[in-house]
């Protein structure tokens, strides 16, 4: 019998399993699909501090940023500590960006219009300046999830880590009030505790335990260009509108230019946000908007072909914070879901904190802002 069953082999579940095994626990990870077959396989992989308002999410992002660097050093992830450049189209927007950077209290450099070319030589000249965040980084999300599970199993676990794919969780085993395992389409798995790392489906999994955790899908499209030997984008580059979109509660379509190159040469172009359920229909108007905004930022991209597009569903919680910690309504059930557009960046901190709650250690961060029962009042 394992100490823990982790539901979900995305970046967050993989990180929970990795840190739990490192802490000496025996872990079984189950997923109905393959590793990274959920939103982790449909995102970009930015590890950002720059887009976070001061508060609990920024604290989580800073903890995670340090842990990503530690993991990259130990485990050889495809991790690029290249920094992020947020650009402003007008002086007013630049003032707001600089104001936010001051409040965040994280490392940053204010860049005047003439200085932008030192960071990004192909950037449009039509900008009022920007803010560079050296701590922003990028990781290949699918590889990261797979490697966390592999490394947890192979090298660093004082505990053991076993992966079972093609296993759908259908309910929970109870010992009185306590959650004591999962029921699946391949039989029951008894365990000392269960971690719900089912991402956008975290609300459905929570409902199987009779608890309300509102995680909703927020769709996003990405364009992938043909590979370039020397991509014209050096850092993660995005416009100030991205910060506003991330924080918005709107169900309607929002887009802003987010552009970055990947290690193998293609440039990724995002980002759109809309709440349309789990509708996977390709939206040409959205793709056109993303392409146009990227070309406005990097005119040189106009001559490059897009070779594919994809979409995914961010796990959105109404207050934009993830759900992390043991559920007082279902003792033994720990949630690690609802990270919206930041689940890759926030995965290591989430896994680390969950390992602390599983082992009874004092968490490095105050988990109250992330508590699972905080939506009880709004329960329909």
Ligand X SMILES: Cc1cc2nc3c(=O)[nH]c(=O)nc-3n(C[C@H](O)[C@H](O)[C@H](O)COP(=O)(O)OP(=O)(O)OC[C@H]3O[C@@H](n4cnc5c(N)ncnc54)[C@H](O)[C@@H]3O)c2cc1C
Site residues, ligand X (CB under 6 A):
7-13, 30-33, 37-40, 42-46, 168-169, 197-201, 205, 220, 222, 270, 312, 314-315, 337, 339-345
Nearer to ligand X, 2 or 341 (CB): 341
Is residue 40 within 8 A of residue 343, CB to CB? The reply is yes
Q: In terms of CB distance, is 180 or 337 closer to ligand X?
A: 337
**Locus of tokens 């999962």:** 182
User: Cβ of 359: how many Cβ atoms within 10 Å?
Assistant: 14
Q: Which residue lies nearer to ligand X by CB, 111 or 169?
A: 169
As measured in angstroms, the least distance from the Cβ of 124 to ligand X is: 22
Q: How far apart are CB 357 and ligand X at their closest, in Å?
A: 17
CB 157 to ligand X: min, Å: 19
Least separation in angstroms between CB 198 and ligand X: 4
Distances (CA, A) of 101 to 85, 237, 331, 350: 12, 16, 39, 24
**Residue 238 C-beta: closest distance to ligand X, Å:** 10
Nearest to 234 by CA among 12, 85, 128: 85
The answer to whether the CB of 306 falls within 8 A of the CB of 224 is yes
Q: How far is the CB of 97 from ligand X (least distance, A)?
A: 19
Nearest CB to ligand X, comparing residues 60 and 88 = 60
User: Smaller CB distance to ligand X: residue 66 or 99?
Assistant: 66
State the minimum distance, in angstroms, from the CB of residue 19 to ligand X. Answer: 14
Q: How many CA atoms lie within 13 A of 285 on its CB side?
A: 3
Residue 182 makes CB contacts below 8 A (sequence gap 6+) with 5, 7, 30, 169, 171, 172, 173, 188, 189, 191, 194
Bridge-based pairing state of the strands 193-196 and 333-337: parallel
Contact 25, 3 (CB under 8 A): yes
- Of 205 and 240, the one with the shorter C-beta distance to ligand X is 205
3-state SS, one letter per residue, for 332-346: CEEEEECCHHHCCCC
Q: Alpha carbon 348 to chain centroid distance? A: 10
C-alpha 320/C-alpha 341 separation (Å) is: 9
Coil, helix or strand at residue 291 = helix
Q: How far is the CB of 250 from ligand X (least distance, A)?
A: 16
The closest alpha carbon to 316, from 216, 228, 243, 219, belongs to: 216
Find the length of the chain: 380
Token duo for residue 290:
């993303």
At closest approach, how far in Å is the CB of 312 from ligand X? 3
The CA–CA distances, whole Å, from 121 to 126, 130, 234, 299, 311 equal 13, 14, 9, 11, 30
Q: Which two tokens stand for residue 320?
A: 């934009």
- For residue 99, the 8-state DSSP code is H
Nearest distance in Å: CB 335, ligand X:
10
């Amino acid at each position: 019998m394992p100490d823990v069953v982790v539901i979900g082999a995305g970046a967050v579940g993989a990180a929970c399993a990795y840190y739990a095994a490192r802490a000496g626990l025996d872990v079984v990870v189950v997923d109905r699909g393959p590793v990274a077959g959920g939103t982790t396989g449909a995102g970009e992989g930015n590890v950002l501090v720059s887009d976070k308002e001061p508060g609990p999410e920024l604290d989580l992002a800073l903890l995670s940023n340090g842990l990503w660097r530690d993991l990259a050093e130990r485990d050889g992830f495809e991790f690029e500590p290249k920094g992020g450049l947020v650009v402003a189209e007008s002086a007013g927007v630049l003032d707001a960006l600089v104001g936010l950077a001051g409040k965040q209290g994280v490392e940053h450099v204010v860049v005047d219009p003439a200085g932008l070319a030192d960071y990004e030589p192909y950037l449009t000249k039509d900008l009022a300046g920007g803010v560079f965040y050296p701590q922003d980084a990028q990781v290949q999300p699918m590889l990261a999830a797979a490697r966390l599970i592999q490394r947890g199993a192979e090298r660093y676990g004082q505990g053991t880590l076993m992966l079972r794919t093609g296993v759908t969780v259908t309910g929970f085993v109870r010992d009185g009030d306590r959650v004591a395992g999962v029921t699946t389409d391949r039989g029951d798995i008894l365990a000392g505790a269960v971690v719900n790392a089912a991402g956008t489906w975290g609300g459905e999994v929570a409902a199987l335990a009779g608890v309300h955790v509102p995680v909703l899908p927020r769709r996003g499209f990405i364009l992938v260009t043909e590979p370039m030997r020397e991509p014209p984008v050096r850092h993660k580059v995005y416009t100030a509108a991205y910060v506003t979109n991330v924080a918005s509660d709107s169900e309607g379509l929002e887009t802003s230019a987010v552009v970055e190159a990947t290690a193998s040469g293609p440039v990724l172009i995002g980002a759109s946000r809309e709440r349309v359920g789990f509708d996977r229909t390709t939206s040409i108007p959205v793709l056109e908007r993303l392409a146009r905004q990227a070309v406005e930022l990097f005119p040189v991209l106009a001559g490059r072909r897009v070779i594919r597009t994809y979409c995914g569903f961010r796990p959105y919680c109404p207050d934009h914070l993830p759900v992390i910690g043991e559920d007082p309504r279902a003792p033994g059930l720990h949630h690690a879901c609802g990270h919206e557009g930041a689940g890759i960046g926030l995965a290591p901190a989430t896994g680390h904190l969950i390992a602390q709650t599983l082992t009874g250690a004092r968490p490095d961060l105050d988990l109250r802002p992330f508590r699972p029962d905080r939506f009880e009042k709004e329960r329909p």
